Structure 1
Amino acid sequence: MIINIENLNFIYNIGTPFEKKALDDISISIEEGDFVGLIGQTGSGKSTLVQHLNGLIKPTSGKITIDGIDITNPDTKMKEIRKKVGLVFQYPEHQLFEETIYKDIAFGPKNLGLTEEEIELRVREAMELVGLDYETLKDRSPFEISGGQKRRVAIAGVIAMKPKVLILDEPTAGLDPKGRDDILDEIKKLYERENITIILVSHSMEDIARLANSILVMHNGKVIMHDKTREIFKSADLLEDIGLDIPQVTKLMKEFKKRGHQVKEDCLTIEEAKEELIKYLRGTKNA
């Protein structure tokens, strides 16, 4: 188990008129190597939860164990935890600050005390993993490239730390459709190539359905569901009750079946639905 959370609570502004319970008695476990989608309405506690996982926020009560280390223990060195858990915020390109792309990506590894040779190797590998050409871009300013490339540079800066857990908080926010698809493709390739656990926070049910193996559903500071992706999207009524949706293609197949057509209604992607509809049409033709 790479992440284990027990009875986690967090209260903002304790003792003031603005006191608010943001996380309410959360207990979950995440397996090493899983790709987890984290969904919920704005204000449900998603960002607050993930910021607990590398110690940016300290819990009001409860216990968080990362790779066997209790990060709520006052004696735990958070620098060690942040080597294990990389967090990419929304609009991470706003945090770029160095004069070259190389220096920006190298910032984290340099702070780990690595040699120049090790730092260069990590920068090369990280750029390759996010689809950036090292020789062409390493000496360019991070402020003179496209929005999608800036996003990749920011993600590469986290990957260069070689975390065991990568948390992506709305990584495609603000990107155009092509930039969004490119980033998601690189995230998928990264997961397939590296021995890494990924937590993806997203409002897009299509993105979650396409990438995640399992899903955590949050509502009012609680985790109300945690299951395999296909099982979560079978609970369409419950998701709709808390203001969420299911992928459009899943909705289409459910409606198609409701009208009397014998098809699988739990298709999660266009590819799955296409295969199912071809199978259905061939069956009706041969009937």
Structure 2
Amino acid sequence: MKIKIEGLNHIYNPGNPFEIKALDDVNLEIDKGEFVGLIGHTGSGKSTLIQHLNGLLKATSGKIFIGDTEITKKDVKLKSVRQKVGLVFQYPEHQLFEETVYKDIAFGPKNLGLSEEEVDKRIKESMELVGLNFTEVKDRSPFELSGGQRRRVAIAGVLAMKPDILILDEPTAGLDPKGRDEILGQIKHLYDKYNITIILVSHSMEDIAKLVNRLIVMHKGKVNMEGNPRDIFKRVDELERIGLGIPQITYLMRELRNRGKDVKDDVLTVDEAKIELLKYLRSNDNA
């Protein structure tokens, strides 16, 4: 399902001394099946933008289309929009409230008026997608689980609605390295299996580099850059001027290149760096 944004503006506290223009003439298109990374420093407009995509915030002006539906129209039914666009907030586990994992994940599907059989099927499917064992976890209180498991329960609750578009706002925030890797692995598995449209908001350049196939950079409410992550991360000076950076491994490879080592300097992940460094070492051994 395609997303199209035309001339989107959003002003907080209009007409008073605290007025802030959070979005400034944003124009974007995101095609069905894209895995998009959205980055920008605090206050760049990232969170404001994603909250427009399922109608949580009302545009000051401009248009947003989800598929063929213009969701910025006054008479649009936002309930149907929110079934298509699933939004997982930062620290979503803070929104868990039911006494069992099963009941928490069931909350959304039940509100759709689905049969008990369909609800049960969706709960099992969504728990499998996020790597939770249905039999072992379904009757447990979500508050007994680890932070990473609670995060997965919250994501499963959104997936059980079967959205066409999934938006994740800092899904690894506050997790330890193991929990972060598990969540990212499940998101990658979800994308590979269903090829749904995913928008990932993150401050971690490493997370972004591992996963997305397109990158959108926000700055002062505007789209500052967009394109292939490898091309965007080559623009180091521009990124640093707006308070961002590149993956740490990319900085390392750039430094090696600057010191005369014959290695690529557009490497984005540790795995890519291993391959490149082994190739360099072998070529020197053979020299």
TM-score per shorter chain, which class?
over 0.9
AA matched with 1:265: D
Counterpart of 2:265 in 1: which secondary structure?
coil
Contact 1:9 1:59 in 2 (8 A): yes
Give 1:143 shift.
1.2
Cα pair 1:5 1:26 within 8 Å, conserved: yes
Correspondences of 1:102-251 after superposition (within 5 Å):
102-251=102-251
Q: Is the 8 A contact 1:127 1:134 kept in 2?
A: yes
1:81 partner amino acid: V
**1:67 to 2:67 alignment:** yes
Q: Offset of 1:3 from its aligned partner?
A: 0.5
Q: Displacement, 1:116?
A: 0.4
Query: Structure 1: how far apart are the matches of 2:173 and 2:101?
Result: 21
Q: Does 2:33 match 1:41?
A: no
Q: CA deviation at 1:67?
A: 1.4
- For 1:195 and 1:84, the matched residues in 2 are separated by 14
Q: Give the aligned partner of residue 50 of structure 2.
A: 50
Instruction: Give the distance between the partners of 1:139 and 1:285, measured in 2 at CA.
Output: 58
1:224-271 CA distances to partner (integer Å, 9 max, x unpaired)?
A: 111011111011110011010100111111111111122111011111
2:245 counterpart of 1:268: no
Shift of 1:195: 2.8
Give the unaligned 5+ runs of structure 2: none
Q: Deviations over 1:178-230 (max 9, x none)?
A: 11111111111111111311111100000000111111100111111110111
AA aligned opposite 2:110: K
Per-residue deviation, residues 37-74 of structure 1 (Å, max 9, x unmatched)? 11000011100000000000010000000112100111
The superposition leaves residues 80-127 of structure 1 with CA deviations (integer Å, 9 ceiling, x where unpaired) of 110110000011011111111111001111111110000000000000
Task: Provide TM-score, normalisation by structure 2.
Answer: 0.98
Give the conservation status (yes or no) of the 8 Å contact 1:164–1:195: no
| Per-residue deviation, 1:30 | 0.6
SS of 1:175's equivalent in the other structure is: coil
Taking the aligned partners of 1:173 and 1:247, their CA distance within structure 2 comes to 17
What one-letter code is carried by the residue in structure 2 that aligns with 1:48?
T
Report the number of matched residues: 287
Q: Which secondary structure state, in structure 2, belongs to the residue aligned with residue 263 of structure 1?
A: coil
CA distance in 2, matches of 1:35, 1:198: 5
2: distance between equivalents of 1:32 and 1:203?
24
* Structure 2 letter corresponding to 1:282: R
**Structure 1 SS opposite 2:65:** strand
CA distance in 1, matches of 2:281, 2:146: 44
d(CA) in 1 for partners of 2:260, 2:285:
16
Q: What letter matches 1:167 in structure 2? A: I
Gaps of 5+ in 1: none
How far apart, in 1, do the equivalents of 2:143 and 2:286 lie? 59
Cα distance in 2 for partners of 1:275, 1:228 equals: 21
- Contact 1:38 1:215 survives alignment (8 Å): yes
Match of 1:26 in 2: 26
Question: Would the aligned equivalents of 1:101 and 1:142 in 2 still touch at CA under 8 Å?
Answer: yes
Range that drifts further, 271-280 or 54-63: 271-280
Matched with 1:284 is 284
Q: What amino acid maps onto 1:134 in structure 2? A: F
